Amino acid sequence: MKIAVLALQGAFAEHENILDRLGAEHFQIRKREDMDKAHDAIIIPGGESTVMSKLLKDLGLFEPIRNEIISGMPVFGTCAGLILLSSHIDGDDDYGLGTMNIRAKRNAYGRQLGSFRVNAGFKGIGEIPMTFIRAPYISQVDDDVEVLASVDEHIVAAMQKKQLVTAFHPELTDDVKVHGYFLDMVKQASA
């Protein structure tokens, strides 16, 4: 199993550190040619979603990544990755990949000063630490989307088929359970 990690901005190195701890092979996607390397899944980290969308388009990565996801490639999006995967983004539906039937509210918890940490339950895992940084939340899901975690009555993790999203940053804690959950999804998809 090999995981492609989008490495345009954000905490991609921290995702790679967690993958290393779990013994998962990985490589970075920085340019169009990187998409030609064999991979079984993609991680889209946090960052600034509008900048990431522009970079994806400028580097010729937007359509190849979107097409892989639509074709069934497992994907894990954290924070900005959640926004990019959302089919609807409050205020602007035009820049995301739009592959997951959710509505995202950007910067829902406020600016940088609205960042916080909490322990909360995650379906199938149990209680885990969650780090929120200028985080979105999911304000609406379609019937085919499974809600995995909520904080203060806001959806902060969900799954649709082979797409997993979190509004928080599991890569910024010592807990590897969410990444393990994703790798289990990838294994099941490969079986």
DSSP state letters, 37-79: S--SEEEE--S-HHHHHHHHHHTT-HHHHHHHHHTT--EEEET
Quick one: what percent of the chain has pLDDT higher than 90? Answer: 81
Which residue in the block uniquely carries the two structure tokens 């079986």?
Answer: 191
15 phi/psi in degrees, rounded to 5 = -60, -45
32-46, 101-115, 168-182: segment of lowest average pLDDT: 101-115
Of 78, 75, 51, nearest in space to 171 by CA: 78
Model pLDDT for residues 132-141, shown as the tens digit of each residue:
988 899 999 9
Q: Strand pairing partners for 160?
A: 163
Q: How many other CB atoms sit within 10 Å of the CB of residue 97?
A: 24
Q: Which residues contact 125 (CB under 8 A, 6 or more apart)?
A: 177, 178, 181
Please report, for residues 27, 93, 105, 119, the alpha-carbon distance to residue 49 in angstroms, rounded to integers and kept in the order given: 21, 12, 12, 25
Catalytic residue numbers read 79, 169, 171
Model pLDDT for residues 92-119, shown as the tens digit of each residue:
656 789 999 999 987 666 555 558 899 9
Gyration radius of the chain's alpha carbons: 15
Q: What is the pTM of this model?
A: 0.95
Confidence of residue 55 (pLDDT cuts 50, 70, 90): very high
Model pLDDT for residues 145-174, shown as the tens digit of each residue:
999 999 999 999 999 999 999 999 999 999
Domains of the chain: 2-190 (3.40.50.880)
Query: What is the average pLDDT across 57-62?
Result: 96
Q: At what angle do helices 62-70 and 49-58 cross, to 10 degrees?
A: 100
